[in-house]
């Protein structure tokens, strides 16, 4: 029997344990509501760089000691940074969860030592170089920049070589002070744990953390209607990314939008599958709906050999147009829902997977959204809901971006 | 606790089932002994084409009808042709397992393999081959494997543009007739299922399958040597391939723990020396792998050209230094990391089904997670260090891919 609990500590930190006594492991995560969109241009890349620096340790604990402490717990752990979230997470055997919590809680107040900062800067620059060799990544990054333009969701998570080289330790410390405040953090747990004990421990460990909620800006956004093609010297294939207006993480229409995206671009059986993959025109084609804070977007993606560029581009445009002219029928809708059901069962299979759903949905909605609630929301989607989304003609109001081998 | 049962069915198909009573999900993996090593000379890539072609219609279903039948059951599925075999996998709810098995049996026993769909299957593989060009680390390891083996293990799974264009539908049908046989095939099922019911469903679906596939060729290697491939990449890709003990060796557990000391977790030697202390890379790892009768340890680092030589030197030195032995603390961390990973694996039906199929292919039997945990626990420091002294990791095959001048 899975039970959810919710507490706000005296310092303002929200703690949300979801307990499953049958689980064989326990997972936890600090979900920080901060990312590339919350950076000034001078700070570009600082959220992600800071995520790395967190693992370099607080005052009185070296990076090596941090790594040894995690490995001594046998923890599976990591962190990631996106445009609007920085998440530190790990899973251990249930009896070691208090130790894991103590360790992560210490790390949230990093020392940001100059020497570590200089070494880690080199690692970040290598990470930027790594992605420069991945044209699929470059295509997404550039498409987002063209689509979001001056909106902060255009900001690059990694920053640029120039912004990272110029970044100072003091800028990072100021950013940390501004963003890592209790009102901007959620501490989530999933799996086999004693929730009262863990909440008590969390209260002791985070006592004295700076309070406050820095917020973020939500400038108005209107999607560009554009069709852009660029060359890239390291691309040998053709990459097509489409971005179109969708629905925010707080908008109930997002459930219908995700069903629509699945009908359009799921692997194995979807409109793009039959138009592109089944015909052997592309290596990969997919579509999805991405829910951000305050706004959302549909995306389509395809990668193909350059000689298929025109055929792929036309086929994608045709399928998007056909969604409005030949909207999904009852059977297509029923299948998409059945698939979602399996997906949701698997999203709940392990504590680590439950943690991501739990933490991220709470960060956006400010309340617990169980997997069974997600399932019933998906099951409630009707053809009329899809028709209402399509009536707004989202796929006529967005960006097609192509990244092609340079000089073609 | 999970219980595992394995049985060789009358037609030779090996069935293994792990019952996970608390799991609301289930998964299976079917291994067929058709891969790059069993493709006929001159028809490299045939198994990959076949794997794509099978999805294009079977028994009473055309491609779309087949995909819809699976979607109606909410089955998430995939398939992959590899060096030694092809796997077909599914993630599903336990109650639809019998129907899903029937559908997979249609595909594997009674595929249509129609002339009209052959070309799109072949073109899909040409696309995959082309996609490799934009994935430098993957490309490096495909090429390096080509240097290591004299036997067909050296081949590119997708073949070559020439072999694919030469291939006929008849060639691939004949491969299907020879290789898609129950004697040599393995089916593993894990999750909220019961052995007796699974067995009955499998007999009903696959019972009429007959015949035997000839055993695949044994691996044979070249003498270790170095190779350089010039590419205009941002990072130099460095790959090392060391001979290791095979999975059925008495030294298997010491070898796995040594790999953990080297590259498991952030306190591991490679992460500490190459990334944490020197900031040379973002990505560095060493990871054990195996073909039937041959174990290896593959190591990787990616770095910008001016630091390639130092990175290669530090990477090799750290791996060779294993011969001097590891410390008590390193062994303790490697043990707890391994055991904790096993517990987390035990919570995932997909992870178990995949692991069980591989175990049977490589060892002829399934190791329970308890058996692996006991095997790991039994490794003492002196046994591990004796192993490392008598089986030093040195003299690897080396591959470097990157801009000219990066060959060192």
Q: pLDDT, tens digit, for every residue of A323-365?
A: 989 999 999 999 999 999 999 999 999 999 999 999 999 999 9
Any domain includes A236: yes
As beta bridge partners, residue A291 has A296
State the smallest CA–CA distance between residue B353 and chain A in angstroms.
14
Q: Do A192 and A241 reside in the same domain of the chain?
A: no
Longest CA–CA separation in chain B, Å? 63
For B296, the 3-state DSSP assignment is strand
Q: Which of B285, B343, B350 to mutate to test the interface with A (most CBs of A within 10 A)?
A: B343
B226-402 — its CATH code? 3.30.830.10
Residues near A131 by beta carbon (within 8 Å), at least 6 away in sequence: A137, A138, A141, A158
Cβ-contact A126, A166 below 8 angstroms = no
Any domain includes A141: yes
Flag whether pLDDT at B1 surpasses 80: no
B268 vs A: CB within 8 A: yes
Inter-chain residue contact B279 with A237, CB threshold 8 Å: no
Q: Which residue among A76, A338, A349 places its CB closest to the CB of B348?
A: A349
Q: Do A197 and A230 reside in the same domain of the chain?
A: no
Q: Considering only alpha carbons, which residue of chain B is nearest residue A274? A: B64
Any domain includes A215: no
Dist. CA B80–CA B49, nearest whole Å = 11
- pLDDT value for B22: 86
**Residues of chain A found within 8 Å of residue B350, distances taken between Cβ atoms:** 346
Above 0.90 for ipTM, yes or no? yes
Flag whether pLDDT at B408 surpasses 70: no
State the smallest CA–CA distance between residue A117 and chain B in angstroms.
10
Q: Do A190 and A233 reside in the same domain of the chain?
A: no
**How many CB pairs lie under 8 A apart between chains A and B?**
193
B68 vs A: CB within 8 A: yes
Q: Which residue among A63, A129, A237 places its CB closest to the CB of B234?
A: A129
Q: Which residue among B24, B281, B346 places its CB closest to the CB of A345?
A: B24
Any domain includes A246: yes
B87 vs A: CB within 8 A: no
Cβ-contact A57, A70 below 8 angstroms = no
| Mean pLDDT (chain B, rounded) | 96
CATH, residue A168: 3.30.830.10
Dist. CA B12–CA B202, nearest whole Å = 13
Any domain includes A51: yes
B3-206 — its CATH code? 3.30.830.10
Q: Do A263 and A182 reside in the same domain of the chain?
A: no
Q: Considering only alpha carbons, which residue of chain B is nearest residue A68? A: B267
Any domain includes A217: no
The β-bridge relationship of strands B61-62 and B57-58 is antiparallel
Q: Which of A224, A406, A408, A400 is nearest to A312 (CA)?
A: A400
Inter-chain residue contact B280 with A24, CB threshold 8 Å: no
Dist. CA A67–CA A142, nearest whole Å = 35
Q: Do A247 and A334 reside in the same domain of the chain?
A: yes
Query: Which single residue is written with the structure tokens 């053809």?
Result: A383
Cα angle value A394/A404/B404 (rounded, 5°): 145
Range of the domain at A144: 3-205
Dist. CA A143–CA B29, nearest whole Å = 37
| Overall average pLDDT of the B165-192 stretch | 97
Dist. CA B362–CA B292, nearest whole Å = 5
Q: Which residue among B63, B234, B267 places its CB closest to the CB of A68?
A: B267
pLDDT band at B404 (very low <50, low <70, confident <90, very high): confident
Cβ-contact A205, A11 below 8 angstroms = no
| Mean pLDDT (chain A, rounded) | 97
Q: Do A237 and A172 reside in the same domain of the chain?
A: no
Dist. CA A132–CA A306, nearest whole Å = 19
- pLDDT value for B30: 98
| Overall average pLDDT of the A166-172 stretch | 98
* Domains of chain A: total: 2
- pLDDT value for B407: 53
Q: Do A11 and A160 reside in the same domain of the chain?
A: yes
- pLDDT value for B405: 66
Query: Which single residue is written with the structure tokens 């069935």?
Result: B15
Q: pLDDT, tens digit, for every residue of A23-63?
A: 999 999 999 999 999 999 999 999 999 999 999 999 999 99
Dist. CA B271–CA B260, nearest whole Å = 11
Any domain includes A219: no
Q: pLDDT, tens digit, for every residue of A78-107?
A: 999 999 999 999 999 999 999 999 999 999
Q: Do A136 and A66 reside in the same domain of the chain?
A: yes
| B91-118 burial code (b ≥16 CB/10 A, e <16) | bbbbebbebbbbbbbbbbbebbbeeebb
Element (H, E) at B230: strand B226-230
For A30, the 3-state DSSP assignment is strand
- pLDDT value for B406: 54
Dist. CA A124–CA A165, nearest whole Å = 10
Dist. CA A254–CA B198, nearest whole Å = 38
Q: Considering only alpha carbons, which residue of chain A is nearest residue B56? A: A278
For B207, the 3-state DSSP assignment is coil
Q: pLDDT, tens digit, for every residue of A250-289?
A: 999 999 999 999 999 999 999 999 999 999 999 899 999 9
Helical axes A169-179 vs A114-132, angle rounded to 10°: 90
B2 vs A: CB within 8 A: no
Dist. CA B55–CA B61, nearest whole Å = 10
Cβ-contact A280, B121 below 8 angstroms = yes
For A225, the 3-state DSSP assignment is coil
Q: Do A230 and A358 reside in the same domain of the chain?
A: yes
Q: Do A255 and A338 reside in the same domain of the chain?
A: yes
Flag whether pLDDT at B2 surpasses 80: no
- pLDDT value for A1: 83
Query: Which single residue is written with the structure tokens 């992600």?
Result: A48
Q: List C-alpha distances in Å: A266 to A336, A402, B77, B284.
A: 9, 21, 12, 33
Element (H, E) at B229: strand B226-230
Cβ-contact B185, B11 below 8 angstroms = no
Q: Considering only alpha carbons, which residue of chain A is nearest residue B232? A: A234
Q: At A206, list the tokens.
A: 């985070």
State the smallest CA–CA distance between residue A211 and chain B in angstroms.
31
Q: pLDDT, tens digit, for every residue of B326-371?
A: 999 999 999 999 999 998 888 899 999 999 999 999 999 999 989 9
Q: Hey, where are the domains in chain B? A: 3-206, 226-402
Q: Which of A87, A47, A52 is nearest to A176 (CA)?
A: A47
Phi, psi of B312 (to 5 degrees): -60, -40
Query: Of A147, A171, A205, which one is at a domain's C-terminal end?
Result: A205
Q: Do A184 and A243 reside in the same domain of the chain?
A: no
| B residues 144-173 closer than 8 Å to A (CB) | none
């Amino acid at each position: 029997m899975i039970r959810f609990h919710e507490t706000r500590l005296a310092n303002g930190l929200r703690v949300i344990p979801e307990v499953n006594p049958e689980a064989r492991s326990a997972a936890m995560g600090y979900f920080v509501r901060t990312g590339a969109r919350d950076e000034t241009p001078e700070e570009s890349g600082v959220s992600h760089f800071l995520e790395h620096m967190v693992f370099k340790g607080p005052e009185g604990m070296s990076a090596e000691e941090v790594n040894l402490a995690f490995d001594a717990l046998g923890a599976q752990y990591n962190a990631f940074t996106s445009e609007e979230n920085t998440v530190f997470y790990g899973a251990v055997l249930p009896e070691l969860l208090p130790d894991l919590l103590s360790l992560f809680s210490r790390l949230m107040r990093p020392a940001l030592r100059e020497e570590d900062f200089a070494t880690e800067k080199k690692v970040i620059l290598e990470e930027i170089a790594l992605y420069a060799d991945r044209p699929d990544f470059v295509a997404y990054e550039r498409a987002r920049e063209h689509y979001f333009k001056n909106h902060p969701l255009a900001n690059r998570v990694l920053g640029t070589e120039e912004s990272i080289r110029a970044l100072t330790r003091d800028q990072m410390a100021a950013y940390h002070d501004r963003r890592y405040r209790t009102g901007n953090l959620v501490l989530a747990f999933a799996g086999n744990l004693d929730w009262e004990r863990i909440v008590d421990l969390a209260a002791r460990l985070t006592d004295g953390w700076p309070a406050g909620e820095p917020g973020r800006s939500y400038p108005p956004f209107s999607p560009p209607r554009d069709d852009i093609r660029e060359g890239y010297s390291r691309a040998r294939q053709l990459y097509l990314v489409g971005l179109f207006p969708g629905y925010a993480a707080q908008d109930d229409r997002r459930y219908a939008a995700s069903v629509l995206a699945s009908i359009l671009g799921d692997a194995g059986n979807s409109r793009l599958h039959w138009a592109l993959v089944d015909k052997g025109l592309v290596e990969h084609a997919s579509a999805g709906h991405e829910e951000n804070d305050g706004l959302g977007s549909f995306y389509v993606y395809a990668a193909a050999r350059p000689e298929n560029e025109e055929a792929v581009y036309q086929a994608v445009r045709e399928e998007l147009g056909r969604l409005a002219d030949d909207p999904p029928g009852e059977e297509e809708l029923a299948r998409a829902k059945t698939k979602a059901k399996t997906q949701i069962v698997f999203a709940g299979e392990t504590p680590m997977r439950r943690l991501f759903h739990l933490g991220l949905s709470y960060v956006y909605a400010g309340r617990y959204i169980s997997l069974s609630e997600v399932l019933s929301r998906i099951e409630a989607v009707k053809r009329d809901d899809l028709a209402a989304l399509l009536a707004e003609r989202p796929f006529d109001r967005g960006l097609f971006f192509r990244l092609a081998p340079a000089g073609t | 606790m999970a219980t595992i049962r394995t049985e060789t069915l009358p037609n030779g198909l090996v069935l293994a089932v792990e019952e996970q009573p608390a799991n609301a999900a289930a998964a299976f993996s079917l291994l067929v002994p058709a891969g790059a090593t069993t493709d006929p000379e001159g028809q490299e890539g045939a198994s990959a084409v076949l794997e794509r072609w099978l999805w294009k219609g079977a028994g009473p279903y055309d491609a779309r009808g087949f995909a819809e039948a699976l979607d109606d059951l909410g089955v998430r599925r995939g398939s992959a042709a590899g060096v030694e075999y092809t796997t077909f996998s599914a993630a599903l709810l336990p109650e639809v397992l019998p129907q899903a098995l029937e559908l997979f049996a249609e595909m594997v026993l009674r595929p249509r393999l129609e002339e009209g769909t052959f070309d799109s299957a072949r073109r899909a593989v040409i696309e995959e081959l082309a996609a490799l060009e934009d994935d430098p680390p993957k490309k490096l390891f495909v090429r390096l494997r080509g240097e290591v083996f004299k036997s067909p293990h050296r081949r590119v799974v997708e073949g070559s543009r020439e072999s694919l264009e030469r291939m006929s539908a008849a060639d691939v049908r004949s491969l299907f007739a020879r290789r898609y046989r129950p004697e040599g095939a393995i089916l593993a099922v894990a999750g909220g299922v019961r052995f007796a019911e699974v067995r009955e469903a499998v007999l009903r679906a696959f019972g009429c399958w007959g015949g035997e596939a000839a055993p695949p060729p044994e691996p044979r290697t070249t003498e270790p040597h170095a190779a350089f491939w010039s590419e205009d990449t941002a990072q130099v890709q460095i790959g090392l391939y060391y001979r290791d003990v095979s999975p059925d060796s008495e030294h298997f557990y010491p070898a796995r723990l040594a790999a953990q000391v080297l590259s498991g977790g952030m306190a591991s030697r490679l992460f500490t020396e190459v990334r944490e202390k020197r900031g040379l890379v973002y990505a560095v790892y060493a990871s054990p792998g195996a073909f039937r009768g041959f174990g290896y340890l593959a190591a990787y680092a990616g770095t910008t050209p001016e630091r390639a030589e130092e990175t290669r030197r530090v990477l090799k030195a750290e791996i060779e230094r294993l011969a001097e032995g590891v410390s008590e603390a390193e062994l303790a961390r490697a043990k707890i990391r391994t055991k904790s990973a096993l517990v987390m694996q035990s919570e995932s039906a997909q992870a178990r089904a995949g692991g069980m199929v591989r175990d049977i292919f490589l060892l002829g039997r399934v190791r329970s997670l308890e058996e692996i945990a006991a095997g790991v626990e039994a490794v003492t420091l002196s046994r591990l260090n004796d192993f490392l002294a008598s089986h030093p990791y040195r003299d690897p095959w080396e591959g470097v891919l990157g801009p000219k001048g990066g060959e060192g």
